[in-house]
């Protein structure tokens, strides 16, 4: 009798544990990461914003710059397409674009660039020191690369997804696509 009960007990335990497992994100699961956190910068309208102002929403946090020739517009377009895929659930998401080029990315330029992808998206900037501090907080690396009479900025190209409580949960790699964004955002919305 005991021998027959053991497999049934093990099966019941496995089914119970499966119900407690983490969601199957398409991006890299960062649940429990010990970096990130709150910060304050100016939004593209000139208003001081804390990241925690967006608590209660799922946040997609991307570091980039407006003069970026490829990674940034591609990522912003993918996030815009993901918002469309989410339909009404998209109102529970806040996309935040933090510039890594605050010298060129003025508030008026951010005000044109960021909402062009989606009027709900927010662009953030600050002094070079403030931006550097926030980037370090999120383990984002960036560096100017001279190009003739101008420059580009090499930078970490992933997008962080934070849950409604402001905790880091997912890193979406560059080029993940709108389906991956929509999938993982939806999982966080539904938590």
- Please provide the DSSP assignment of the chain as one string: -HHHHHHHHHHHHHHHHHHTSPP--SSEE-TT-S-----EEEETTS-EEEGGGGTTSEEEEEEE-TT-SSHHHHHHHHHHHHHHHHGGGGGGEEEEEEES-TTT--HHHHHHHHHHH-TT-EEEE--HHHHHHHHHHTT--EEEEEETTEEEEEE---EEEE-TTS-EEEEEPTT--HHHHHHHHHHHHH-
Q: What was the pLDDT predicted at 89?
A: 98
**Which sequence spans correspond to the domains of the chain?**
25-190
Other beta carbons within 10 Å of 127: 12
- Would residue 80 be called left, alpha or beta, if left means φ above 0 and alpha means ψ between -120 and 50 degrees? alpha
pLDDT in tens, 71-92: 999 999 999 999 999 999 999 9
Q: What was the pLDDT predicted at 22?
A: 63
Q: What is the rounded average pLDDT for all residues in the chain?
A: 91
Q: What is the mean pLDDT of residues 174-183?
A: 97
pLDDT band at 145 (very low <50, low <70, confident <90, very high): very high
pLDDT in tens, 8-40: 444 444 444 444 556 799 999 999 999 999 999
Q: What is the mean pLDDT of residues 174-190?
A: 97
| pLDDT for residue 186 is more than 50 | yes
Query: What CATH topology corresponds to 25-190?
Result: Glutaredoxin (3.40.30)
Q: What is the mean pLDDT of residues 90-111?
A: 98
Q: What is the mean pLDDT of residues 137-153?
A: 95
């Amino acid at each position: 009798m005991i021998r027959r009960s053991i497999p049934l007990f093990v099966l019941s335990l496995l089914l119970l544990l499966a119900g407690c497992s983490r969601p199957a994100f398409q991006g890299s699961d960062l649940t429990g990461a010990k970096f990130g956190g709150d910060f304050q910068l100016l939004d593209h309208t000139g208003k001081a914003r804390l990241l925690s102002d967006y608590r209660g929403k799922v946040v997609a946090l991307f570091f980039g710059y407006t003069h970026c020739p490829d990674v940034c517009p591609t990522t912003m377009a993918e996030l815009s397409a993901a918002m469309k895929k989410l339909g009404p659930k998209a109102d529970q998401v806040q996309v935040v674009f933090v510039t890594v080029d605050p010298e060129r990315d003025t508030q008026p330029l951010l005000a044109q660039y960021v909402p062009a992808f989606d009027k709900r998206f927010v662009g953030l900037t600050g002094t070079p020191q403030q931006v550097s501090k926030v980037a370090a907080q999120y383990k984002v690396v960036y560096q100017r690369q001279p190009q003739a009479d101008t420059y580009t900025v090499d930078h970490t190209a992933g997008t962080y997804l934070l849950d409604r409580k402001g905790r880091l949960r997912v890193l979406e790699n560059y080029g993940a696509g709108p389906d991956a964004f929509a999938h993982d955002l939806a999982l966080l919305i539904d938590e």
